Structure 1
Amino acid sequence: MHAMQYEITLPADYDMDIIRERVASKGHLLDGFPGLGVKTYLMRERGVHGSPVNQYAPFYLWNTEQGMNSFLWGAGFQGIVRDFGRPVVQHWIGVAYAEGGAADATARVAVCERTPVAAAAHLPGLVADAARETAELASESGVLYAAAGIDPRTWELLRFSVREHAESGAPGDVYQVLHVSQPERDLLAKGSQW
């Protein structure tokens, strides 16, 4: 599994209905995309769920590198580049994935927490803990699914969850979910990814 996200930060006075309309008209285009486990179309709106910014920030869990590459080098991502410029694409190697008890509920919010990995961290223990914490996160009320990954270039640990309702005090950035494309969500390997 590969996790991927790009964040497009928009002006404070940007009409976020433009992003809502974009997703409403184009979101379905990845509903059958080969190699894609799940794409969660995310948006942060200034002042909502404590967000200081307006931002469009889709998040992907890929089953295959071929699918991810087909997207990045294909028409879908080129539409983003054409409309917003080429964003930095963040990428994490999958550590764990778990389905939640609310797996079939309507996704309304997502929470993304990023923490640096200390230079002295014992990596085998760190990823084992992250896998256990992902299962615990998925077992929380209202969670559809949860994932964890590590970026070994920056040594950043990512914890990501999709929920049917906002959790007050959730650590990390809280996003509104506009659409979910999940052509191969059922094929995402459960549990630890090693």
Structure 2
Amino acid sequence: MHAMQYAITLPADYDMGIIRERVATKGHLMDDFPGLGIKAYLMREQGEDSPVNEYAPFYLWADPEGMTSFLLGAGFQGVVRDFGRPEVRHWTGLAYAEGPASGALPRAATRRVAAVPDTVAPADAAGAALEESRRLAKAPGAVATALALDPRHWELVHFTLWEQQPAPEEPGDRYQVLHLSRPGRERLEAVPRW
């Protein structure tokens, strides 16, 4: 499993209805994309738990070939044409788990990125993060959660889909989920990879 996200920050006065319409008309195009586990079409609006307007899809790839095919294919080139070429962050997947609301259509998501301190062994940091991931997988309203690692910047990311907005004390950047493509959801690994 590989996790991937790009974020397109939009002007404060941008009509976010344009993003909603884009997803409503094009979101289904990824519903059967080969190699894709999950694509969550995410958006956040300035002033609503966010300092910025942002379109920031998050992907969990079951196969790295699917990720490559997408990045070099027509779909991503449409993003580049319309918004410029964004920086694409990606992480090696460590764990994925369905939550108690796995049958629900998610309406919200959280993403939390945490640095692995130089003083902590990466395996120890990943082990502690895995415990947090297990907690998230059992949280009321959790649809699914993933844990991944970026060894270039030594950071861990927790990504969780929620049936509704999570509790206020749940940390991380908060997003609205506009659409969820999940052609290979069952192929995402449900156990730690190490």
Q: TM-score range by the shorter chain?
A: over 0.9
Unaligned runs of 5+ in 1: none
Counterpart mapping for 1:94-113 below 5 A = 94-113=93-112
Q: How far apart, CA to CA, are the structure 2 residues paired with 1:193 and 1:3?
A: 14
Q: How far apart, CA to CA, are the structure 1 residues paired with 2:47 and 2:132?
A: 29
Query: What's the secondary structure of 1:80's corresponding residue?
Result: helix
Equivalent position amino acid for 1:117 in 2: V
Give the match for residue 192 of structure 2: 192
Equivalent position amino acid for 1:164 in 2: E
Give the match for residue 183 of structure 1: 183
Give the match for residue 73 of structure 2: 74
Equivalent position amino acid for 1:83 in 2: D
CA contact (8 A) 1:135 1:191 kept: no
1:155 aligns with 2:119: no
Give the match for residue 38 of structure 2: 38
Give the match for residue 9 of structure 2: 9
CA contact (8 A) 2:105 2:163 kept: yes
- Identical pairs, percent: 56
Q: What is the RMSD of the two structures over their aligned residues, measured on CA atoms?
A: 0.8
Unaligned runs of 5+ in 2: none
Query: What's the secondary structure of 1:130's corresponding residue?
Result: helix
CA contact (8 A) 1:96 1:130 kept: no
Query: What's the secondary structure of 1:193's corresponding residue?
Result: coil
Equivalent position amino acid for 1:111 in 2: T
Q: How far apart, CA to CA, are the structure 2 residues paired with 1:100 and 1:81?
A: 34
Query: What's the secondary structure of 1:192's corresponding residue?
Result: coil
Equivalent position amino acid for 1:185 in 2: R
Give the match for residue 135 of structure 1: 134
User: How much has 1:132 moved relative to structure 2?
Assistant: 2.3
Equivalent position amino acid for 2:176 in 1: Q
Q: How far apart, CA to CA, are the structure 2 residues paired with 1:60 and 1:118?
A: 26
Q: How far apart, CA to CA, are the structure 1 residues paired with 2:39 and 2:21?
A: 17
Q: How far apart, CA to CA, are the structure 1 residues paired with 2:193 and 2:60?
A: 13
Q: How far apart, CA to CA, are the structure 1 residues paired with 2:63 and 2:155?
A: 22
Total equivalences in the alignment: 193
CA contact (8 A) 2:96 2:190 kept: yes
Equivalent position amino acid for 2:188 in 1: L
CA contact (8 A) 1:5 1:57 kept: yes
Q: How far apart, CA to CA, are the structure 1 residues paired with 2:77 and 2:96?
A: 28
Q: How far apart, CA to CA, are the structure 2 residues paired with 1:193 and 1:165?
A: 29
